[in-house]
Amino acid sequence: MAKILIVEDDKGISDFIIPELKHEGYETVLATTGREGLEKASSENPDLILLDVMLPELNGLEVLRRIRQTSRVPIILETARGETIDKINGLNEGADDYIAKPFEIEELLARINALLRRINFSNTTSPVLKHGDLEMNGSSMSISVCGNSLNLSKIEFLMLKLFIEKAGTVLSRNDIIDSVWGENHFIDINTVDVYVGYLRSKLADHSDKEYIKTVRGIGYVME
């Protein structure tokens, strides 16, 4: 049974979410302030965190930033609809996904299920992948380039894993979404470009090589 930490100060939302998660077989833990969420992220060892941006004491982005200093636990960020800057900042700080409020419970459950499936899958597949000077270890969720360790979010890790496994194959944005986020996942197609940008930036910190190339009008390829 996966444990989900819900960091949400709106009682109406938490009262709506928690029974549905329990019905799906998840164990739930609730925190109503950012500071309490940070404490329970450490003490409860959750399998996934659902984190609101607007929180008392510490806002959600600061909680996310502090968690990412010590943990790679999957995090879904709750943002206000239309608040693009929160989505971008959340992804920059290491959120694995985001969902805009108000949301349907079916969409939230689909995102949680898909994210946990991806994490479980990545932890059980081939332990080591190599491509040129890139080396990826699926067991430890680590990757190095030219011998230097990269700090990747789980979505970045899974996306780079896909590029390595499909090296030489041109992947459309929809191909990437289906493989990384899951089929029928409700996500803005431009999110793929955002994550590719993150990967390119992190790889460029250690190598001058262009690993991921844009194929105009189609998508991306790792040669």
Tell me: do 88 and 10 sit in the same domain. yes
DSSP per position, 104-127: -HHHHHHHHHHHHHHHHHHTTS-S
Radius of gyration for the chain, computed over Cα atoms and rounded to the nearest angstrom = 17
pLDDT at 77: 92
pTM: 0.60
pLDDT at 197: 92
How do residues 8-62 score in pLDDT, each as one tens digit?
999 999 999 999 999 888 999 999 999 999 999 999 989 999 999 999 999 999 9
Tell me: do 83 and 150 sit in the same domain. no
Tell me: do 205 and 166 sit in the same domain. yes
For residue 95, give the CATH number of its domain. 3.40.50.2300
DSSP 173: H
Tell me: do 85 and 155 sit in the same domain. no
pLDDT at 18: 94
Tell me: do 196 and 159 sit in the same domain. yes
How do residues 191-210 score in pLDDT, each as one tens digit?
899 889 989 999 998 888 89
Local structure of 7: helix, strand or coil: strand
- Domain termination site, one of 88, 122, 156: 122
- Domain termination site, one of 81, 105, 122: 122
- Domain termination site, one of 122, 147, 165: 122
Range of the domain at 206: 128-222
pLDDT at 98: 87
Local structure of 22: helix, strand or coil: helix
DSSP per position, 63-99: HHHHHTTT----EEEEEETT-HHHHHHHHHHT-SEEE
Total domains in the fold of the chain: 2
Q: Count CB atoms within 10 A of the CB of residue 77.
A: 26
